[in-house]
């Protein structure tokens, strides 16, 4: 009996403590937006960007529009974080890991056609490979890459005087919650990031051309995690409170803030505006 009381107390403490999330919205200098994706396009190729992941992941798909092969030289390509150059290629072997982690179900467009998000647990398989310097993209085909996280810090410390709106909480509309927000221009944005890629129509790169796509943080929102993500009740089941579940029987998480041009971060305990007031 004593153990049951202790477990109940611990559970109450766990659920009684609010946790918070920051959502980072982005802007772009030389791309357009279609169905929430940033897109760069010229006569030779089309690049589609997606960032939605915790800490933000620079994910992109390159489509070769031509009737002949297209080549990328990763040694001459870089991800640039606030003017700091990060290499896509180094001359060494590395572990090639496939990882699958829980994500949010979403009805909008996906970066990779046919890929369905799920709430499965973490899975990782790795092998050692020699990283290729030159990537060959056949005519009328796609190449996908994800390598660098956009946010290298644990959280962004917003001023406790940051403006907020009081709104209905997504998981319980009868309750109100505060959503803090600070907007930025390119000139005062805390994070500027670029994707610089070198292409050629020839494998020996005797001629080459470049794509330099630039982005920045345009707004940061901070909110209760219960407002950011929530479960939906399964209306098809009568006689109780049951949530929609995935193929493995785990409740599905939903987020109204999911957008391919944004990303999110769970704030460490004590670092949120509400905790610091």
Q: pLDDT tens digit string along 210-243?
A: 999 999 999 999 999 999 998 887 777 776 677 7
3-state secondary structure of 69: coil
Gap between the Cα atoms of 22 and 155, Å rounded:
8
Q: Where are the domains of the chain?
A: 19-276
Please tell me the distance from the alpha carbon of residue 157 to that of residue 267, in angstroms, as a whole number.
10
- Rounded to a whole number, what is the distance in angstroms from the first to the last CA of the chain? 39
pLDDT at 185 over 90: yes
- Do 220 and 92 touch, CB atoms closer than 8 A? no
The DSSP letter of residue 75 is G
Measured between alpha carbons, how far is 248 from 119 in angstroms, rounded to an integer?
Answer: 8
Whole-angstrom distance, CA of residue 212 vs CA of residue 66: 20
- Binned at pLDDT 50, 70 and 90, residue 22 comes out as very high
Q: How many of the other CB atoms lie within 10 Å of CB of 192? A: 16
Q: What is the mean pLDDT of residues 134-153?
A: 94
List the structure tokens of 33. 């937006």
Q: State pTM to two decimals.
A: 0.80
Which residues, 6+ apart, have CB-to-CB distance to 76 below 8 Å? 198, 208
């Amino acid at each position: 009996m004593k153990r049951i009381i202790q477990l109940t107390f611990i559970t109450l403490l766990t659920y009684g403590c609010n946790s918070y999330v920051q959502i980072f919205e982005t802007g772009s200098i030389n791309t357009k937006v279609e169905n929430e994706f940033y897109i760069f396009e010229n006569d030779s190729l089309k690049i589609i960007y997606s960032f939605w992941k915790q800490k933000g992941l620079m994910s992109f798909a390159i489509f070769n529009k031509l009737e002949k092969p297209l080549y990328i030289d990763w040694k001459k390509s870089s991800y640039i974080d606030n003017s700091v150059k990060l290499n896509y290629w180094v001359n060494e072997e590395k572990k090639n890991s496939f990882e699958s982690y829980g994500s949010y179900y979403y009805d909008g467009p996906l970066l990779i056609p046919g890929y369905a998000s799920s709430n499965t647990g973490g899975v990782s398989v790795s092998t050692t490979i020699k990283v290729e310097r030159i990537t060959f993209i056949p005519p009328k085909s796609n190449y996908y890459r994800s390598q660098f996280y956009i946010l290298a810090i644990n959280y962004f410390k917003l001023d406790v005087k940051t403006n907020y709106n009081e709104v209905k909480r997504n998981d319980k509309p009868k309750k109100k919650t505060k959503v803090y927000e600070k907007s930025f221009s390119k000139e005062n944005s805390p994070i500027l990031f670029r994707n610089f890629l070198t292409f050629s129509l020839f494998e020996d790169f005797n001629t080459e051309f470049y794509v330099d796509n630039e982005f920045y943080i345009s707004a940061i929102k901070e909110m209760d995690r219960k407002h950011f993500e929530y479960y939906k009740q399964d209306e098809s089941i009568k006689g109780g409170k049951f949530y929609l579940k995935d193929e493995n029987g785990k409740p599905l998480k939903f987020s109204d803030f999911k957008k391919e041009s944004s990303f999110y971060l769970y704030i460490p305990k004590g670092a949120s505006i509400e905790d610091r007031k």
